[in-house]
Amino acid sequence: MFIGHFAVGMGAKVLQPKLSLGTLFMAAQFLDLLWPSLLMLNIEHVTISPGITEIAPLDFDSYPISHSLGMVFLWAILFSFIYYFKSFDRKSAIVLGVCVLSHWLLDLIVHRPDLPISPINELKVGFGLWHSLYGTIIIETMLFVVGIWIYYNSSRKNNTIVSWGFWALIGLMYLIYLINIFGPVPDSAEDIAIGAQFQWLFVIWAYWIDRRKWSLAIAKEYLVRKRAI
């Protein structure tokens, strides 16, 4: 799953509009942001295996640190705690932790049974939606549209304009999604790891899109606190 995770980031905006889209993207996609670095460090492994599913030609041999349910709980808690100790904002911290967890649940729907339950035992799960090309594209596109729709409405409710930068990002993400599915099979695991690192650009881009909203939210909170004193 790719755009579905970013859809969760956009959708979570309605739960806590003051959270930057960049932070929400980082949480919802955290496991796949971590994974390429672990591949590069030779800690986790993937094999290119054309035809293994209709969508991704990848055999995820081993990714217990980034994608086992046990570790995902830990990452979610860690992400929440770091945000909480930075902001003392409990609600935002909880929303971000749930976003981190959501990644594994969405992966569970699409992956073959290759997602480990715990980092130390062999039990692996996955419902395998990736075996259906159209099923995956339809469901993931629907998720993406719902995410965009929620983000758009929550921005309008908060009197902020949805910028051209947002629509450009949406267009680029969808294009990359289609290239991933219909484009050539990558040459090596190293190429996959390098390509996946570029997802950080989406996070940075999302921070840039939301920068005004972010500063407005902080200013508003500051005024409320000041009035309370």
CA-to-CA dists, residue 197 to 52, 106, 141, angstroms: 23, 20, 23
Are 147 and 69 in contact, with CB atoms under 8 Å apart?
Answer: no
- Residue 115 phi/psi, 5-degree rounding, is -90, 115
Residues 147-166 contacting Zn ion, CB under 5 A: none
Q: Taking CB under 5 A as the criterion, which residues in 16-35 touch Zn ion?
A: 31-32
Q: How far is the CB of 67 from Zn ion (least distance, A)?
A: 6
CB closer to Zn ion, 10 vs 31: 31
For residue 171, the number of C-alpha atoms closer than 13 Å in the C-beta half-sphere is: 6
User: How far is 156 from 206, CA to CA, in rounded Å?
Assistant: 17
CB neighbour list of residue 14: distance below 8 Å, 6 or more residues apart: 150, 153, 154
Number of residues this chain uses to bind Zn ion (CB under 5 A): 3
Mask: binding to Zn ion, 65-104, rule CB under 5 A, as x and -?
----------------------------------------
Residue 66 Cβ, how far from Zn ion at the closest point, in Å?
A: 7
Rounded to 5°, the CA angle 140-141-143 comes to 65
Largest distance between two CA atoms of the chain: 63
Q: Which is nearer to Zn ion, 154 or 199 (CB)?
A: 199
> Going by DSSP bridges, is the β-strand pair 115-116/45-48 parallel, antiparallel, or unpaired?
unpaired
Please give the Cα distance from 197 to 32 (Å, whole number): 9
Tokens matching residue 97:
């932790």
For Zn ion, the closer of residues 31 and 95 by Cβ is 31
Q: Using CB under 5 A, which of 75, 96, 107, 129 touches Zn ion?
A: 107
Residue with tokens 């650009």: 201
Report, in angstroms and rounded to the nearest whole number, the Rg of the chain calculated over CA atoms: 18
Q: In the complex, what is the shortest distance from the CB of residue 89 to Zn ion, in angstroms, rounded to a whole number?
A: 27
Q: Is 140 a residue that touches Zn ion (CB under 5 A)? A: no
Residue closer to Zn ion, measured from CB, 32 or 89: 32
Query: Which amino acid is residue 52, in one-letter code?
Result: I
Which CB sits closer to Zn ion, 74 or 216?
74
Nearer to Zn ion, 52 or 162 (CB): 52
Question: Residue 79 or residue 166: which is nearer to Zn ion going by CB?
Answer: 79
User: Least distance to Zn ion from the beta carbon of 167, Å?
Assistant: 26
- Shortest spacing between CB 165 and Zn ion, in angstroms: 26
Tell me how far, at minimum, the Cβ of 210 lies from Zn ion, in Å: 23
Contact residues for Zn ion, defined by CB under 5 A:
31-32, 107
